[in-house]
Structure 1
Amino acid sequence: MTEPEDLDEVEQQRWLVVGGRRWRRQDPALPEDVAARLKSHLGRGRSGTGAARKRGDDEAVAAARHRTGLAKHGLGERGDPWWDQSDDERRERWEQALTELDALDGDGGGRGD
């Protein structure tokens, strides 16, 4: 089991350890406004998943999980590790995620809230 003290300084910047489990940290290069938009989508996805599960609506669960996954990719918590990506690849990752997330709302590039 991984413990926080088992990680060196670089690894501590990349991983968060909770209950012995490693979770990838969000990309520190994310501008504040971008991180806020992605976190808003993440929260709505998680909330939507719970609400849809209570209703027994499998299609809505899948849609909410899709939103959650896109937000996590944009944040750098899933997909290729952000520390292995160039600055341009990182920017492209979060811009693409926001484009897809905003399209889910029919927003086409607005705040997505």
Structure 2
Amino acid sequence: MAGIKHPVTPDGRYFVVKGKLWRLSNPDIEPRARVRLVKALMDARRAAKDAKNAGDRDVELEAHRRVDEAKRSLGERGPVWWDDGAPDYNRHAVINTPYAGWYAKARRCG
């Protein structure tokens, strides 16, 4: 996957950071919508950081709500974007999932 600097599971559902799986965005999102959603996510993250630095808890909470909304729209949170019935392993330790063998091999080869 372009732009990802971490191992990506063979099915393209997760990337791994420090041994933990993180769900990727839905690859079926139309490109213009993806650009709009990623911009909204980055804007919300900046707003959360700025509000935290300013000590404005109410603005920070609203910015975190917008981060969550954007991540759900991208498919990174909330209901899974795949339809084969596979469970969601988002935020699970990769060694405790069916991806453990793949990850062990990827680490040896990487």
What TM-score results when the alignment is normalised by the length of structure 1? 0.65
The corresponding residue for 2:77 is 78
Alpha-carbon distance between aligned partners in 1 of 2:34 and 2:56, rounded to the nearest angstrom: 29
Alpha-carbon distance between aligned partners in 2 of 1:84 and 1:65, rounded to the nearest angstrom: 28
Which runs of 5 or more residues in structure 1 are unaligned? 86-113
Alpha-carbon distance between aligned partners in 2 of 1:26 and 1:68, rounded to the nearest angstrom: 14
1:32 maps to 2:31: yes
Alpha-carbon distance between aligned partners in 1 of 2:45 and 2:16, rounded to the nearest angstrom: 21
Which runs of 5 or more residues in structure 2 are unaligned? 1-5, 85-110
Runs of 4 or more above 4 Å deviation: none
Q: Give the root-mean-square deviation of aligned CA atoms.
A: 1.9
Alpha-carbon distance between aligned partners in 2 of 1:78 and 1:63, rounded to the nearest angstrom: 17
The amino acid of 2:77's aligned partner reads: R
**Identity rate of aligned residues, in percent?**
34
Residues paired across the two proteins, number: 79
What TM-score results when the alignment is normalised by the length of structure 2? 0.66
